[in-house]
Structure 1
């Protein structure tokens, strides 16, 4: 049995030798901060030295799910030891609503609370502990209102944060009715806590002219800048937001980093002193949104081969109390309700349910995983109904030829190689042999049962909101030949800074170690998009390349003029510049260019081409391209306890021409484990009063190393460049592998189904905890007796 290190060495053996110049695009290079991460030298916001007079903030939270605030006495809070400032919404000079897209998110409660944990007031004190003690002294009287705490209740009351929406192609009702077979089913898909290692934190420092310098652990510094400016009622040009790195984000810091930056800035403005706001872990878990829980259902018609003829799917997202990003998240769940399968006659409806819980938000996959779960359940259910291997049903329904390559939102699935990818993985993982071996094992064992599943993923790459698909970058070349790079993307551990540095080095054909990347700052690259939607490298890499090309062309033109040569005689290679018969080091030539008054700084800009979507007609091309992959997972369950173990996982993923195979494989491994955790161990629990009970590491279980498969095999599709003109023909890798965790859930269902000799398809809501697995096994046994 091979270790993960051995596996990665195997995967990277070919690509380590492949390099396009010293820049190393296509070659493995460690994360630019890897040594700092390991040694503890990496500077996060909480590591910054305290400034003179710095204060610490804490939040006064609602203790009820839905109520009018009848009275609020903060006198004891103001008088508490160390307290310098106390603010409510009445102390906000500007905008009070900080909703990222639609209104509904007050920075501090306005006469009413809508979830347990909602910020009502904030305190700045001389220490973190004193601030947190002070907020507990508030005396608040509530007039409680009826709370909506379930999706079922929200649907019954038509409680929505945004109107329902449908995508439709053909006449699904007629197609279902006329099909040989019909099935229906439903599933509850649990949410997920982001559990970033670095919690939400911001630090705000008043500057001259009434401005504010904000250090924010945010995936979207430009949005933080805008909202801080709006709540303070000051122009954007005197607000600067700086983000060097985050200790993880996963979407939880896309919009929901902004409230803490705004509150820190409000307190800094009130006290005229620097303020740091750092949420304790339990407060963070109670006050910030999760992956949206969904409750989905379907009705499908299919033929005797298992091919779908018509389908209706409803995806019902638990959005919490406000819109946040839920409109787009439920849209993406609808877009991805097909996953990798052709749905000829289809109607997909999405409901954005309003509940009195924290407002749920972006999370890796952005609704796509919740949408895919339904169609993967459909594949398993059809297979059990027809007595076939689920893989056979999946393969027969894949997107394919010209008459089966259009989605239910009318985008063509171009350059589609998912069938070949699955066939390759089926062979390399010995799926057929293992399936027979598992069937034999299950016949011979009455207590322990094995299951196996191969599931694909087809994930659209682009922001579904068109204007976000843009990026800028700033490149300086200094006279010693070193390069400074800044772009709009944020680094949260995913290796974005490393990849973009490789791209700039590649353009100049210099060693990547000569390229320095600085903190993402709103005064260097303005009006940036969030680092999300798996588009960080696609967008910022192209922008940085554009800036580098501008400078490079200036250098070429200078060389032609100075040395009287043609442009094709100027060659950049191996940290040198060849000009006709002359040869200079890159640093020497840059010094010459400086003396020749050549501009050695440039900005670059990129916008994604081809994408558009008309929401009114439900037609368009919301995605520039699709990223694809597949996983085979094998599990062992104990039918007496519901306990289980993941024995082996094989992954084959397409990243186009990989910019950095080591980082890409690391992203695939991490995404798979995180997806597996979402579907197996990570359970969010609210009580009947709307209070989150799973609010700390003791009550919420993320996967440990012992939960990873003992045999873990991850491979990239052999270099197959993206047919679209992405940066060096690569493909995004951040989110798509997350959905490969579905293979574990499907394998668990396969093992449970073996109790009925695969005649029945078990209902298995997620997370599929051992309790739920046991209940499903018992249900199988009861059905067999009947």
Structure 2
């Protein structure tokens, strides 16, 4: 195990590590932050509505849009015949058509688009189309796909040793089937795009996307023009959570195609129902597991088959399911292990990225297994988790990566155990449950070990563009997108710190492919890691040239020149920052730089199933206490204690906000957010009336969040750690606490609880333990 670096460095920092407010915070509160639907529409802007397939599976025999075209106010009807390039909006695999050609893959799939002078006209006209469809019985569930043998990608597995033999030879054995539900992104700003045609075939598209470069590329592909003809711009999103990583592209392409055909600005904004129907969700999984363990609950062999419902196409399922496999171990050592996966094809909208990118599903499955082992051995679930933690000498993941910070994992969980009074509260809860027949309480403390990096190695790169103007103001642009998570303010803090100037001098500008090309999506929790380092490199290069110039002019060694407090200290003198900038301009010193950063050390050989796919791990733990009405399934989260490792935080206020928000979103996924499809492929939970996200009253009244005092051993930006995705999995503690409460009904039986643990699911589990299973 590598020795930790010193816990805190001694450099004096003015902005980095300060709890500064979000740069758009006041604008959010005042309602003046500009989103795409707030941009003043150019004169003559047209509006788009999508013509959707009314069946989930079949063949389109004919499409009659004559009544649509004749509707007053309709300017154009776009079909596959209007596409000059490829009918493909997929991120990689070529299996997501913009419009249906002949095969219908899911209910609601785009068949055509109406372009009209108003949104209302377009939405009314789209209903006048007549489609003749030769329908087939759709595949909707995982079991449907298994029966038909339909997948979007080949099966994949890796592991270590002979897991089946180790399970068979262990003193104790268990096996089971565990279901993990999907999740709707429910970003507050729905999918929206506006495209403005320029001269010579240029297109400027405003898109609510996490991946402007992909929008640029796919628009160019569909329109059959070079990438350089397309500019994609994103100032901010009203939430993304992965739902705008690949699936914002189709709407940007639709708007761009309409602009190309009509020669006028065109805009599309999906309403909430259409957004639910037309965009993908978090993948739901069936996890078939088997485990062998000793009397102490230590795992000797573990095998799990992760069966993912991917929907009608690949989209991002290659990476999502791989990451579920990468996190099937969470924080636990397994001497013999096999992790296998199936990526199943169904006639439902293609599932996509969602905060955690598959990691939460794989991680929840092993936490479920830990509880099963605890119940079988009669041990405290936390003690079973401790017994299986990675430790020196037993710290290789199933894919061969060394877990270097085993001390962080152990110390963080031990600290939370003490600060949350876990042991004392467990005794109190046991006494309460013994005297309460109906109301039962439960508690759980669960860990998180989450890998940070894109699992596609080439995506671990970023660019930034920094200009210093002659008045000393700084223009900052980078490839990261702002979706409320505070990326822009963090990167601005880095640049202000590098130049030693006031944060107000740094102008944060919209992400655009015209300034920083070939960017990766803002995803995988890597926005600050990648873009912060790229911006620091760019600013550092400019600063270095300014230092060289000052050294020559003032005859002072370069190491005696320092930038701080809006001044440049040159030996025993100091001059204002803007004065040195002016000198550099007059001396023809270049004050513009494009910085580039690529993550070091990462390797991954997928064929062999070995490598180091992650630069480092982020750690965390949560202790949650719940109370359950076992006659109704109703429940409440009473208290949550969180201790999370963000390394040396660039902005503690932003990071705490991310931890709180991620936890609550994860809690929603595991307790209230249930996606229900009908047998014909209809999404029945398609609006806030039928789909329940957490609200303020669901947040525990006693909610304690602390940052673990740590420093990243790897050379990340200011030794910080990523914080976007890992906190979501802290909500595993809520699910496990609910299972713990139910288990008190009959401590001999395992709890048959799947996720999400809705009141209905909890009631079914309670009734099963009482020996009267519900139909």
CA shift for structure 1 position 761:
2.0
In the alignment, which residue of structure 2 is the partner of 1:493?
Answer: 484
Kept after mapping to 2: 8 A contact 1:19/1:25? no
Aligned match for 1:749, one of 732, 735, 739: 739
Matched, 1:519 2:522: no
Alignment map for 1:389-408 (pairs within 5 Å): 389-402=380-393, 404-408=394-398
* Paired position in structure 2 for 1:52: 43
Q: CA deviation at 1:147?
A: 1.2
Equivalent residue for 1:539? 530
- Deviations 1:237-268 (Å, cap 9, x if unpaired)? 11100000000000000000000000111111
In structure 1, what is the Cα distance between the partners aligned to 2:37 and 2:485? 20
Give, in angstroms, the shift of residue 20 of structure 1.
3.7
The alpha carbon displacement at 1:348 in A equals: 0.4
Aligned to 2:765: 776
SS of structure 2 residue aligned to 1:349: strand
Tell me the residue number matched to 1:10: none
Q: How far, CA to CA, are the matches of 1:717 and 1:182 in structure 2? A: 36
Task: Describe the SS at the equivalent of 1:284.
Answer: helix
Alignment partner of 2:668 out of 673, 677, 682? 677
Equivalents in 2 of 1:171, 1:50: separation in Å? Answer: 63
Cα deviation, residue 783, structure 1: 7.8
448-457 or 575-584: which moved more? 575-584
> Which of 155, 178, 182 pairs up with 2:169?
178
| DSSP 3-state at the match of 1:685 | coil
Q: Which residue number in structure 2 is paired with residue 9 of structure 1?
A: none
Match of 1:194 in 2: 185
**C-alpha offsets along residues 659-693 of structure 1, whole Å, 9 cap, x if unaligned?**
00000000000000000000000011111110101
Is the aligned partner of 1:575 residue 2:570? no
In structure 2, what is the Cα distance between the partners aligned to 1:130 and 1:342? Answer: 60
Give 1:436's match in structure 2, choosing from 422, 427, 441: 427
Aligned: 1:134 with 2:125: yes
Q: What is the rounded CA distance, in whole Å, between the counterparts of 2:255 and 2:11 in structure 1?
A: 46
What's the CA shift for 1:19? Answer: 8.7
- Could you tell me which residue of structure 1 aligns to residue 677 of structure 2? 686
Helix, strand or coil for the counterpart of 2:745?
A: helix
Taking a change above 3 Å as real, the CA distance of residues 19 and 253 of structure 1, as seen in their structure-2 partners, is: farther
Are 1:154 and 2:149 an aligned pair? no
1:219 aligns with 2:230: no
> Is the partner of 1:743 in helix, strand or coil?
helix
Q: What per-residue deviation string (whole Å, max 9, x for no partner) do you get for residues 82-128 of structure 1?
A: 10011111110001112102121001111121101100000110001
Partner residue, 2:13: 21
Structure 2 distance, partners of 1:84, 1:473, is 41
Q: Secondary structure at the match of 2:106?
A: coil
Structure 1 Cα separation of the partners of residues 686 and 764 of structure 2: 25
Deviation at 1:580, TM superposition (A): 1.5
Q: Is the 8 A contact 1:503 1:545 kept in 2?
A: yes
* Aligned residue in 2 for 1:5: none
Query: Which residue number corresponds to residue 368 of structure 2?
Result: 377
Question: Residue by residue, what CA displacement relative to the aligned partner does 1:302-358 show, whole Å, maximum 9, x if unpaired?
Answer: 000100000110101100000000011010000100011111100000100000000
Gaps of 5+ in 1: 1-14
User: Partners in 1 of 2:359 and 2:730 — Cα distance?
Assistant: 12
State which drifts further: 60-69 or 507-516. Answer: 507-516
In structure 1, the residue matched to 2:267 is 276
Pick aligned residue for 2:109 from 106, 109, 118:
118
CA contact 1:19–1:27 (8 Å) conserved in 2: no
User: In structure 2, how many angstroms separate the alpha carbons of the residues matched to 1:19 and 1:640?
Assistant: 58
Further displaced range: 285-294 or 591-600: 591-600
Note if contact 1:339-1:457 (Cα within 8 Å) is conserved in structure 2. yes
Report the equivalent of 1:235.
226
Q: What are structure 2's unaligned runs of at least 5 residues?
A: 1-7
Partner of residue 480 from structure 1, selected from 440, 457, 471: 471
**What displacement does 1:173 show?**
1.1
Alpha-carbon offset, residue 156 of structure 1: 2.4
Residues 613 and 620 in structure 1, CA contact (< 8 A), matched pair in contact too: yes
Deviation at 1:516, TM superposition (A): 1.0
Corresponding residue to 1:427 among 418, 430, 453? 418
* Counterpart residue number, 1:12: none
Q: Which residue of 1 aligns with 2:755?
A: 766
| Alpha-carbon distance in structure 2 between the residues aligned to 1:173 and 1:291 | 30
Partner Cα distance (2:398, 2:658) in 1: 30
Q: Is residue 412 of structure 1 aligned with residue 431 of structure 2?
A: no
**In the TM superposition, what whole-angstrom CA distance separates every residue of 1:217-252 from its partner, at most 9, and x where no partner exists?**
000000000000111101111110000000000000
Provide the C-alpha distance between the structure 2 equivalents of 1:26 and 1:333, rounded to a whole number of angstroms: 32
Cα distance in 2 between the residues matched to 1:344 and 1:692: 42
Do residues 619 (structure 1) and 602 (structure 2) align? no
1:595-614 to structure 2, matched below 5 A, reads 595-614=586-605
- String of CA shifts for 1:438-479, please: whole Å, max 9, x gaps: 000000111110000000000000000010000000001111
The Cα of 1:415 is off from its aligned counterpart by: 2.3
1:736 to 2:726 alignment: yes
Matches of 1:27 and 1:219, distance apart in 2: 26
Q: Of 525, 529, 539, which residue of structure 2 is paired with 1:548? A: 539
1:297–1:374 Cα contact (<8 Å) kept: no
Cα distance in 2 for residues equivalent to 1:570 and 1:647? 55
Contact 1:324 1:361 in 2 (8 A): yes
Q: 2:651 aligns with which of 645, 649, 660?
A: 660
Query: What is the TM-score with the length of structure 2 in the denominator?
Result: 0.98
Q: Displacement, 1:146? A: 2.6
SS in 2 for 1:782: coil
The DSSP-based 3-state class of the residue aligned with 2:369 is helix
Show CA shifts across 1:611-655 (max 9, x none): 111111100000000000000000000111110000000000000
Cα distance in 2 for residues equivalent to 1:738 and 1:760: 29
Alignment partners' CA distance in 1, 2:140 and 2:634? 30
Q: Would you say 1:505 and 2:496 are equivalent positions?
A: yes
Q: Secondary structure at the match of 1:319?
A: strand
RMSD between aligned alpha carbons? Answer: 1.1
Superposed CA deviations along residues 398-446 of structure 1, whole A, max 9, x for unmatched, are: 11112x1000000000122111110000000000000000000000111
1:92 aligns to 2:92 (yes or no): no
Confirm or deny: 8 A CA contact 1:19 1:26 kept in the other structure. no
Displacement of 1:760 in angstroms is 2.0
Q: Which of 95, 100, 106 is the aligned partner of 1:109?
A: 100
Q: Distance in 2 between matches of 1:633 and 1:760?
A: 22
Contact 2:309–2:346 (8 Å) recurs in 1: yes
Task: Say which is worse superposed, 456-465 or 567-576, in terms of deviation.
Answer: 567-576
Structure 2 vs 1, CA of residues 783 and 283 (structure 1 numbering), >3 Å: closer, same or farther?
A: closer
Moved more, 728-737 or 586-595: 586-595
Distance 1:173 1:643 in 2: 39
Preserved CA contact (<8 Å) 2:137 2:680: no
**338 and 110 in structure 1: CA distance in 2 versus 1, 3 angstrom threshold:** same
Check conservation: 1:488, 1:529, Cα contact below 8 A: yes
TM-score between both structures, scaled by the size of structure 1: 0.96
Give the deviation of 1:154 after TM superposition.
1.0
